[in-house]
Amino acid sequence: MGDPSFQEEGLMLKRLFKLLLKGILFLPLGLFLNLLSAEAAGLDCAALEKMNEYDLVHTFLKASHKEKSSCLMHDPLRVETDQITRMVFNLVLRMNGLPKEFKDKWQKLTRDQTGVWSVPFRLCLLNQEADCPDGAALVAKNYHNRKSAIILISRERWATLTETEKFSLLWHEILGNLGLESNSYSYSTMVNFHTECNTTVFSPTSFSSECSIVAQLLDPSFIQR
């Protein structure tokens, strides 16, 4: 199994084709062009940067998959979070010992459940808080409903994490969007992401070392669940 199912592009083409067909058959040219413009506009991605947490969540969860995906492309952390998310997905998928029912659900993970938007403000435990002290500020929060999901990340706190901590964080937030964790870390703590290095010695003065992130199942009792 490869990466999560990213089918937004096909849906976009299908919607545009239907709109094009409708415009050709039924609508005056001016009205048809207006509809095409509205279809392409989607969310005002620039406005998201100025929203508070409540408005961001409300906007993302009610947006279409196409609108949300279009805006997530502009997030300043997108390249890094996309890469880590894909690696987490594949590392966990290849892991031995996880329950079959979990693996089946993990295989069906979609891009919508892993979407990340980074914010310039602090994420507090309570949404209504405008600010919170260092000890109470969170790195990330996940939100989901029956149709959509979003992960919010604090840029300030994200920058303080190590690479393996970023893997563990996104692993936990994705589990939350899958409905497998809320205020607990029952699944998260069963898997340890860490760096392993392999060194090849060519001579007493020449060698090469390659390091990569690996995932390890920690609790053997988890296998029986």
pLDDT tens string 95-142 = 888 888 888 889 999 888 999 999 999 898 876 566 787 778 899 999
End-to-end CA distance of the chain: 23
pLDDT at 210: 86
37 exposure class (CB count in 10 Å sphere: 0-12, 13-18, 19+) = exposed
Rounded distance, CA 150 to CA 72, Å? Answer: 10
Residue-wise pLDDT for 101-114, tens only, equals 888 889 999 888 99
pLDDT at 47: 93
Concatenating the DSSP letter of every residue in 55-73 gives HHHHHHHHS-HHHHHHHHT
Q: How many residues can be counted in the chain? A: 225
Q: Cβ(11)–Cβ(66) under 8 Å?
A: yes
Determine whether 10 is exposed, middle or buried from the number of CB atoms within 10 Å of its CB (0-12, 13-18, 19+): exposed
What tokens were used for 77? 């952390």
DSSP-assigned letters across all residues of 59-126: HHHHS-HHHHHHHHTT-TTHHHHHHHHHHHHHHHHT-TT--HHHHHHHHT-BGGGG-EEEESSPEESS
Query: Which residues does the chain have with pLDDT short of 70?
Result: 1-42, 127-130, 183, 220-225
pTM of the model: 0.75
The residue with tokens 């604090």 is 154
CB 92 within 8 A of CB 192: no
Buried b (16+ CB within 10 A) or exposed e, 73-110: eebebeeebbebbebbbebbbeeeebeeebeeebeebe
pLDDT of residue 180: 84
Task: List Cα–Cα distances, 207 to 13, 198, 199, in angstroms.
Answer: 51, 10, 7
Which are the contacts of 174, defined by CB distance < 8 A and separation ≥ 6?
85, 88, 109, 113, 114, 142, 151
Question: Are residues 141 and 123 in contact, defined by beta-carbon separation less than 8 angstroms?
Answer: yes
